[in-house]
């Protein structure tokens, strides 16, 4: 069988196997975190956070048209679909690197055929399959493959760029380089952290074939293709002008549009605002995340594979190692951003996980090629490794990644609205819960009379504007807009003061509180007394004077277990 046909057959089988695994564990409904928001913006073509995600929402809209289950399930299916594609690309990357290794003995006319046959063996196809399935069943990647989120699609685009770089290096075909810059531009619409690993790609281009950049025409084509991909951001102001229910940042004007897509807070914090204590803490967190993906002994074996890799393909080794280091450093410098929940940001390290899995594959390749007893023993060892590693990964993550019966978010959202009276106000500092309740508003049209207010965003004028449009009965005084600071900085004290003013202006509305931050509660609710109703707190009385012990009752966060 020709190599190309064999690759197509294995790739198709790997895609179907990965997709079946994800469908087995796929979330049946909307989930926590950003799942509710992204499902809603995909359904309504709204504006989501993190640079608006226009490409994700456009693709998500196509998946919501599939007549299968509910809207959230269809968006979950999109994550599984692109995750399976990403797994296939991991296989192709590993295979291309292995087949590019030169044989350890010189090739001559007399031994050319023998050397080629011994080098291109089934083992070379089996090891990339192992690595791809290890990555497919790793904890973080599999987690995001089961829910509606951008990170499997985002990872697929990064892997696609790596594969295009290797193809261009091998074939010297400028079409691959042009396609790379187009995909680079498109990937910018997913998450701003892709820009932080881009120096590795540009460095690889420079050391591989600098002459390609000497041609002015080539440079112009690359820049145009990049901006063609980035131009998808122009969808955001067009959609924002129609005032969708979810309109993050309200990028209808040019300043607000730049504010949304620039994500200056992330880049500024990583480059200029960091502390040694935060960096050291985040290194510990990073190793904790690494331990979630693979056992520590596999990580140690990966070091052996890196040594083998650098002797065989130093240029590709430097390229992939640069991606790993840049990605790791961008993660450890993130603690300076107070608005981020860093213990739930394991997705940032997805490119690093991929490189380590590839290194493990090189270790296995080194061990198998070191055998002196012939091909059969090597093949048996590779086959045993296949079942051992895959079985170990599935067994290790089986309970953790099974979301097929997880209706917790649906039940909690339903319970919140069940307890809320008509024209009520629900205030929460939980962004995940906020996006979940908005899903019920936007997609299912439930309880639109209840105003859901996320206090984490109250310091932004665009958010107050959204509240006025989404909930016409809600009274928001105009002077509150002057208290807002739209520089993407989160000020809990200012948010609390604005929230308290909104409550004072809507005294007749039943108000419910779902909070987790004690310090924000003390600022926001020191003038109010409350009593528990179900698992949320309802404000029942406005005090004229500040009470000394306003928290005689325990503020409880929703139980998400």
So what's the pLDDT on residue 53? 87
CA 257, distance to chain mean position in Å, is 22
So what's the pLDDT on residue 110? 46
So what's the pLDDT on residue 371? 63
Q: Tally Cβ neighbours within 10 Å of residue 280.
A: 12
Query: In the beta sheet, which residues pair with residue 454?
Result: 428
Output the CA–CA distances (angstroms, integers) from residue 419 to 314, 412, 433, in the order listed: 62, 11, 15
So what's the pLDDT on residue 152? 93
Contacts of 556 (CB under 8 A, 6+ apart): 532, 535, 536, 537
Closest CA to 464 of 444, 448, 445, 479: 479
Residue the block writes with tokens 């931050």: 517
Q: Residue ranges of the domains in the chain?
A: 14-401, 408-542
**DSSP secondary structure string, 445-489?**
---TTSEEEEGGGTT-HHHHHHHHHH-TTS---GGGGGG---SS-
Contacts of 207 (CB under 8 A, 6+ apart): 315, 318
Tell me, what DSSP letter sits at residue 540? Answer: E
Q: Give CA–CA dist 298/363, Å, rounded.
A: 10
Tell me, what DSSP letter sits at residue 104? Answer: S
So what's the pLDDT on residue 275? 66
**Size (the chain), residues:** 561
Q: Tally Cβ neighbours within 10 Å of residue 500.
A: 18
So what's the pLDDT on residue 154? 92
Query: In the beta sheet, which residues pair with residue 426?
Result: 452, 512
- List the alpha helices (DSSP H) in 263-313: 264-272, 276-293, 296-312
Output the CA–CA distances (angstroms, integers) from residue 477 to 5, 218, 320, 486, 498, in the order listed: 67, 55, 54, 18, 10
Q: Give CA–CA dist 429/145, Å, rounded.
A: 27
Exposure b/e, 14-31, CB count within 10 A at least 16 = b: bbebbbebbbebbbbbbb
Q: Could you tell me the mean pLDDT of each successive run of 10 residues in the chain, 561 residues long?
A: 76 93 89 88 88 90 91 94 96 89 49 42 80 88 91 94 92 90 92 84 84 80 93 91 88 84 60 65 82 70 78 86 90 61 76 89 76 58 63 63 80 83 85 87 90 86 90 88 70 76 83 64 50 46 34 33 33
Half-sphere exposure of 352 (CA within 13 A, CB side): 24
Output the CA–CA distances (angstroms, integers) from residue 445 to 67, 68, 422, 487, in the order listed: 19, 19, 15, 32
Q: Give CA–CA dist 376/473, Å, rounded.
A: 76
Tell me, what DSSP letter sits at residue 107? Answer: -
Contacts of 545 (CB under 8 A, 6+ apart): none
Beta strand pairing call for 528-533 and 425-428: unpaired
């Amino acid at each position: 069988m020709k190599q190309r046909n064999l690759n197509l057959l294995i790739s198709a089988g790997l895609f179907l196997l990965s997709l079946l695994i994800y469908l087995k564990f796929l979330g049946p409904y909307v989930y926590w975190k950003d799942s509710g928001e992204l499902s809603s913006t995909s359904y309504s073509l709204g504006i989501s956070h993190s640079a608006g995600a226009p490409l994700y929402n456009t693709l998500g809209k196509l998946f919501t048209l599939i007549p299968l289950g509910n809207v959230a399930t269809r968006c979950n299916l999109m994550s599984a679909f692109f995750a399976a594609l990403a797994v296939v690309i991991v296989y192709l990357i590993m295979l291309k690197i292995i087949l590019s290794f030169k044989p350890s003995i010189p090739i001559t006319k007399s031994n050319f055929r023998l050397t080629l046959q011994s080098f291109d063996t089934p083992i070379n196809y089996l090891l990339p399959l192992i690595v791809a399935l290890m990555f497919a069943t790793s904890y973080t990647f599999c987690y995001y493959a089961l829910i509606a989120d951008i990170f499997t699609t985002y990872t697929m685009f990064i892997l696609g760029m790596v594969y295009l770089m290797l193809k261009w290096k091998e074939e010297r075909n400028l079409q691959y380089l042009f396609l790379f810059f187009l995909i680079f531009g498109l990937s910018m619409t997913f998450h701003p952290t892709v820009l932080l690993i881009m120096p590795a790609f540009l460095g690889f281009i420079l050391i591989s074939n600098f002459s390609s950049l000497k041609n002015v025409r080539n440079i112009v084509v690359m820049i145009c293709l990049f901006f063609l991909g980035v131009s998808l951001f122009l969808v955001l102001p067009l959609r924002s002008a129609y005032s969708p229910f979810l309109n993050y940042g309200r990028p209808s004007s040019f300043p607000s549009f730049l504010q949304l897509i620039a994500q200056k807070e992330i880049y500024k914090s990583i480059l200029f605002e960091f502390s040694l204590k935060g960096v050291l803490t985040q290194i510990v967190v990073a190793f904790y995340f690494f331990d979630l993906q693979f056992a520590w002994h596999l990580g140690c074996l990966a070091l052996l594979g890196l040594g083998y890799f650098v002797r065989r393909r130093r240029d590709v080794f430097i390229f992939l190692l640069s991606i790993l280091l840049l990605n790791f450093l961008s993660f450890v410098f993130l603690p300076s951003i107070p608005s981020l929940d860093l213990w739930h940001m394991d997705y940032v390290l997805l490119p690093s996980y991929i490189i380590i899995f590839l290194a493990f594959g090189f270790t296995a390749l080194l061990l198998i090629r070191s055998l002196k007893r012939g091909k059969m023993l090597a093949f048996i060892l590779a086959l045993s490794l296949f079942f051992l590693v895959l079985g170990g990964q599935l067994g290790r993550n089986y309970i953790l990644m099974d979301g097929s019966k997880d209706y917790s978010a649906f039940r909690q959202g339903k319970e919140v609205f069940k307890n809320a009276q008509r024209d009520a106000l629900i205030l929460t500092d939980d962004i995940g819960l906020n996006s979940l309740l908005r899903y019920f508003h936007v997609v299912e049209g439930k309880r639109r009379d209840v105003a859901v207010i996320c206090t984490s965003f109250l310091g932004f004028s665009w958010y107050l504007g959204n509240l006025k449009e989404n909930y016409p009965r809600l009274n928001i005084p105009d002077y509150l807009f002057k208290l807002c600071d739209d520089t993407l900085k989160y000020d809990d004290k200012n948010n609390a003061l604005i929230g308290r003013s909104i409550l004072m202006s809507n005294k007749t509305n039943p108000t419910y509180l779902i909070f987790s931050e004690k310090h924000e509660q003390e600022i926001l609710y020191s003038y109010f007394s409350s009593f528990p109703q179900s698992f949320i707190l309802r404000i029942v009385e406005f005090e004229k004077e500040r009470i000394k012990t306003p928290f005689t009752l325990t503020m409880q966060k929703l139980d998400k277990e």
